[in-house]
């Protein structure tokens, strides 16, 4: 018996778009193969990691990751500059968390001001995230989209309960859009269809099928992403062809494994390394399942995953 390389050729292809401006713009997606299988197809753009910052001090982040930004996290502009200039982040994800009614309930106008300030301070592409409050996001993200007009950002997340106003804002101000649903391939597909029915191009969408942390449902996200990617490639399903987003940091940096001190659980080893490994491994698994854009927090985890991507592409 002689060996023949078992190649698959797919009829479908993942869509691609760029975000950001001029020579700092980055491209996501575009592959016509399962992740990193160069022997049978092309993956023209490298997965991108956006470094997460927020518009209020990260009081609720565990010490390991809070410590990494302690000198800059009081001010989103300083924080964004730090990510770009010191950490060499290729993209930044600004979460407008302070607008959440349970946080500071800051106004959409305030949020728009923060967006303007951050955009003026850095050149790298920006992902603009709401506070994940369905009603509030539909006003905050509209104001943020307007403030960022002309900057070609990714805004989100548009969900079933609020997508209409957010889609309209992304359309009016020419941004890319995150469509988020909760761990179900059919819901992801349905939301993408609803959004494109409003006249929003599928070529400007990125699908967030909801992330989950290692040990806390990771296998569900992993399989939903794999199924989305197979639907895009093997079944050539146009509604499943937008690139995929993995919002890793916010799911990882709250679970017990990233918070519990070694004194409480000696068998789990040192807390700092444990937390960083948790974020890096969650992110690596997401890449293998098909994620094109990751949102992450800890600089050491980001560096580790970048090194892994260096080996994978």
Q: What angle do CA 102, 103, 108 make, to 5 degrees?
A: 100
Helix, coil or strand: residue 167: helix
Distances, alpha carbon 20 to alpha carbons 16, 90, 91, 220, in Å: 14, 10, 8, 31
Out of 122, 195, 281, 302, name the contact with other proteins by CB under 8 A.
281
126-129 and 176-180 strand pairing: unpaired
Say which DSSP state 160 is in: T
Q: Does 284 bind other proteins (CB under 8 A)?
A: yes
Q: What angle do CA 93, 247, 56 make, to 5 degrees?
A: 45
Q: Is the dihedral of CA 234, 240, 242, 247 positive or negative?
A: negative
CB of 276 to other proteins, least distance (A): 6
81 vs 133, beta carbon nearer other proteins: 133
Q: Does 312 bind other proteins (CB under 8 A)?
A: yes
Q: Which pairs count as long-range contacts for 29-33, CB under 8 Å and 24+ apart, including other chains?
A: 29/206, 29/242, 29/243, 29/292, 32/233, 33/8, 33/233
Candidates 4-12, 49-57, 65-73, 198-206; binding stretch for other proteins (CB under 8 A): 4-12
CB of 274 to other proteins, least distance (A): 4
CB of 174 to other proteins, least distance (A): 30
CB 255 within 8 A of CB 213: yes
44 vs 150, beta carbon nearer other proteins: 44
Q: Does 23 bind other proteins (CB under 8 A)?
A: no
Residues 199-218 contacting other proteins, CB under 8 A: 212, 214-218
Helix, coil or strand: residue 92: strand
Residues 153-192 contacting other proteins, CB under 8 A: 183
Residues 92-151 contacting other proteins, CB under 8 A: 101-102, 132
Residues 25-54 contacting other proteins, CB under 8 A: 34-39
Gap between the Cα atoms of 21 and 55, Å rounded: 22
CB of 245 to other proteins, least distance (A): 18
Say which DSSP state 174 is in: T
Candidates 65-73, 80-88, 110-118, 262-270; binding stretch for other proteins (CB under 8 A): 262-270
Out of 1, 11, 186, 197, name the contact with other proteins by CB under 8 A.
1
Residues 237-256 contacting other proteins, CB under 8 A: 251, 254-255
Gap between the Cα atoms of 294 and 268, Å rounded: 26
Candidates 71-79, 143-151, 168-176, 275-283; binding stretch for other proteins (CB under 8 A): 275-283
16-19 and 26-29 strand pairing: antiparallel
CB of 113 to other proteins, least distance (A): 26
Residues that bind other proteins (CB under 8 A): 1, 3-6, 8, 34-39, 60, 101-102, 132, 183, 212, 214-220, 222-223, 226-227, 230, 251, 254-255, 257, 267-270, 273-274, 276-278, 280-281, 284-285, 288, 300, 304-305, 307-308, 311-313
């Amino acid at each position: 018996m002689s060996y023949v390389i078992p190649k698959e050729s797919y009829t479908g292809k993942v869509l691609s778009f760029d975000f950001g401006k001029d020579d700092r713009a980055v491209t996501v997606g575009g592959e016509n193969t399962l992740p990193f299988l160069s022997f049978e197809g092309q993956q023209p753009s490298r997965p991108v990691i956006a470094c997460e910052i927020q518009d209020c001090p990260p009081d609720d982040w565990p010490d390991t990751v809070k410590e990494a930004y302690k000198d800059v996290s009081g001010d989103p502009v300083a924080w964004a500059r730090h990510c770009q200039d010191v950490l060499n982040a290729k993209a930044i994800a600004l979460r407008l968390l302070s607008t959440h009614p349970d946080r500071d309930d800051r106004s959409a106008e305030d949020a728009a001001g923060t967006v303007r300030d951050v955009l003026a301070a850095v050149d790298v592409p920006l992902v603009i995230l709401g506070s994940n409050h369905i009603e509030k996001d539909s006003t905050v993200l509209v104001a943020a989209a307007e403030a960022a007009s002309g900057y070609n950002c990714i805004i989100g997340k548009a969900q079933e309960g609020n997508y209409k106003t957010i889609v309209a804002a992304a359309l009016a101000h020419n941004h890319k859009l995150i469509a988020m649903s909760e761990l179900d391939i059919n819901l992801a597909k349905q939301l993408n269809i609803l959004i494109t029915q409003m006249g929003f191009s599928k070529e400007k969408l990125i699908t967030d099928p909801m992330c989950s942390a290692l040990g806390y449902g990771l296998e569900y996200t992993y399989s939903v992403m794999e199924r989305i990617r197979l639907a895009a490639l093997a079944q050539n399903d146009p509604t499943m062809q937008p690139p995929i987003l993995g919002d890793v940091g916010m799911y990882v940096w709250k679970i017990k494994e990233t918070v519990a001190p070694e004194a409480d659980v000696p068998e789990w080893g040192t807390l700092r390394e444990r937390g960083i490994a948790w974020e890096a491994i969650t992110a690596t698994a997401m890449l293998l399942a098909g994620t094109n854009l990751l949102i992450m927090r800890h600089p050491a985890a980001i560096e580790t995953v970048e090194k892994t991507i260096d080996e994978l592409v």
